[in-house]
Chains A and B, each alone.
Chain A
Amino acid sequence: MAEEAIKAETTAEETAPAAETAAVKPAKQRRRLPYEKRKQLYGYGFISIWMIGTLFFFLIPLVKSFWYSFNEVSIGEGKMMTDWVGLAKYDFVMNADPNYTTFLKDTLIETLWKTPLVLIFSLFIAVILNQEFRGRTLSRAIFFLPVIIATGPVYKIISGDMNSTGNTGAAQFSTMFSTDLVGQLLQFLGIYGISDNMSTMISTVADNIFGIVWSSGIQILLFLGALQNIPPSAKEAAQIEGATSWEFFWKITLPYVSPFILANLIFTVIDSFTSPTNTVMGRILAMKEEWKFGEASAMAWIYFMIVLAAIGLVTLIVNKFIYYEVE
């Protein structure tokens, strides 16, 4: 990452003089600048605002944050004082901090099982919402509603998690969502025999249906877009060959939406970073409020690196199975 930052800086420097010389040269000569070259400069012109911003508001902070995670950070006169401590902060975060490792583990495990569920669920709903039926517009409007609410603090309150607002007795609030309905149902049906793991798994999924439904708004949106892009010729061909809906789904729908599966996967993971119910994020914010910048940076980097590695791995594997239509 540091390498990238340095490269980007040099790019920015290279552009600046190039643009200057272009401006200084007399008009006659400038016109002689080859069209392709001029276009290149225009390209830099269009992205120049972003380049400046990225340097100051993204790359420098990124490098700094990495630097902070190896330092004892304190506030000095007019700037931050840093004092190199090597891996001590990482050691502290992983071994001494009472909450971080638990939060990290929980958040990662949640991401791990929730992401596939969100993907399957949203594809399923997208297929349904893509069919013709009465009340389709209304259903779509309802299912996309989480898009506008689920990224904010309102979601935190309605999902019954009010710990961070200092409410300890919040458990009773969420009774409606956490009642052990599935457990009761299983007992009612006389199913005790399934192994405990299995029934825990089922009830976890069922208890979390709220979370899954609420975090798949934009994924449904993207899948629906993909479904609408399936060429009608493919549908007709499948019909003429007498494909059942089941075959149609596996042989036509899935290959066509496969690029979106990866996009949605990445989107789901990114969304979980900034989800208001993400405890790691809450812990980092709490650390920052105690002015422990070094620890907070180390926490953020550990979390980010693990997730980045996971995304990279999944992308590598999934990419082999994706069907890209040749353009």
Chain B
Amino acid sequence: MTDTTGAVVKSESEIGGGLTPRQAKKKRMQSMTAEERGYVRRKAVMDAVWPIFRFVILFGLGFVILYPLIYMVSCTFRERADMTDPTVMWIPRHFTLNVLKETLTAMDFWNTLKTTLILNIGCSFVQVVSCALTGYGFARFKFRFKGLLFGIVIMMILVPTQVIALPLYTQFRYFGIRGLFTINLIDTMWTMYMPAITANGIRSGLMILIFRQFFRGLPKELEDAAYIDGCGPLKTFIRVMIPNAGSAFLTVFLFSVVWYWNDYYVSSTFFVNTSTLARMLTNLDTELKIRLFQSATVEISPREQIVWKEAGCLLSITPILVLYVCLQKYFTEGIARSGITGI
């Protein structure tokens, strides 16, 4: 906004050559109507005050966001006694790595991380592929009941997981054809993989919508050219559309990874012994008591428990935080570009 007026100021001061900038300004102000003068003055005040105001807001709110993370780091490296020491606020009095080590053992971190990664990356990958196919189908083809079927996609976005989690549980518990055979799939990774493969995993409705909007935005001429050259629709999709949709794929994949990473509702519905990081973190106190103190009844004061909890938090967000820092651009720009306005 400031740019244009800035430019005008410059060109006029050049014309008034020989005058100092201050004089030129005064002269210019005199030549204006009262209304214009008011406008210029208000603008000058706003331009001076606003950056300060903006800085204060951003700094304050940025602190609200970063505070828990800083606190996490601070807690992780202090001894539990420091929690009850009122003089310790940010910098630990007794620096220690023990809490971190204990939490690593209690969460069985490396195994849990491995399980989480296998589940996470795999599910996200197949889900992105299946959602892309579905989104493309909805974006480019006309067929009967399309409106109704797309309505179901919207329903998938709106219906909370809680509503369908229970019947899904029984479905996986007695999976198969009734009367012929049933197998118990609870506590296996199939419970997560099967919905993901068929575009029904966590928040897949949203992903289908994103892909649909994205593919609708691509020029149709691309495909027409491919059809004329004798490409079938699937081949066209793989050869022509996918190479053009790289950024959309990456964005959806990243968000899928984040959502699977953070999910503990669906995973605690289907898993009993299989542990993801999110589940481990939710059950951290019990694990702590069992693994560190060999008894489930030990009382640790809640205030002292915080050190382990915060260490657990730090451990479970570090991998995803690293991902975020490295691929920040795709997180922040991708979803906006693919645009899901068309709701």
Contact = CB atoms under 8 A, between A and B. Distances in A.
Interface of A: 1, 4, 7-8, 11, 14, 36, 39-47, 49-54, 56-62, 64-65, 68, 78-80, 125, 128, 131, 133, 139-149, 151-154, 156-158, 162, 164-170, 172-173, 176, 209-210, 213-214, 218, 221-222, 224-226, 228-229, 239, 242, 244-245, 248, 259-260, 262-263, 266, 270, 273-274, 276, 280-281, 284-285, 288, 293, 296-297, 300-301, 303-304, 308, 311
Given A40-B142, A58-B156, A131-B54, A65 B166 contact: yes
B317 interface: yes
A280 B265 CA distance: 13
Contacts of B151: 4
Contacts of A153: 262, 264, 278, 281-282, 316
B90 to A, nearest CB: 11
Contacts of A244: 39, 42-43
Interface in B63-79: 64-69, 71-72
A167 B302 contact: yes
Contact of A173 (B62, B268, B303, B331): B303
Majority DSSP secondary structure for residues of A touching B: helix
B61 A50 contact: no
Contacts of A14: 144
A14 B317 CA distance: 47
B240 interface: no
Interface string B86-112: 000000000000000000000000000
A4 B148 contact: yes
A281 B162 contact: yes
Interface residues of B, number: 109
A142 B130 contact: no
Interface in B41-61: 42-43, 46, 51, 54, 57-58, 61
Interface in B159-207: 159-171, 174, 178, 182, 194-195, 197-200
A97 to B, nearest CB: 15
Given A50-B133, A65-B164, A170-B302, A133 B198 contact: no
Given A11-B149, A47-B138, A61-B168, A284 B331 contact: no
Interface string B213-255: 0000000000000000000011001000000000000000000
Contact of B4 (A162, A169, A239, A248): A239
A54 B313 contact: no
Contacts of A172: 302-303
Majority DSSP secondary structure for residues of B touching A: helix
Nearest to A38: B233
B317 A144 contact: no
Interface of B: 1, 4, 39, 42-43, 46, 51, 54, 57-58, 61-62, 64-69, 71-72, 130-131, 133-134, 136-138, 140-146, 148-149, 151-152, 155-171, 174, 178, 182, 194-195, 197-200, 208, 233-234, 237, 258-259, 261-265, 268-269, 278, 281-286, 301-303, 305-306, 309-310, 312-313, 316-317, 320-321, 324-325, 328, 331-332, 335-337, 339-341, 343
B302 A173 contact: yes
A78 B42 contact: no
A301 B282 contact: no
B130 A49 contact: yes
B252 to A, nearest CB: 13
Given A142-B62, A300-B160, A49 B133 contact: yes
A140 B332 contact: yes
A167 B51 CA distance: 44
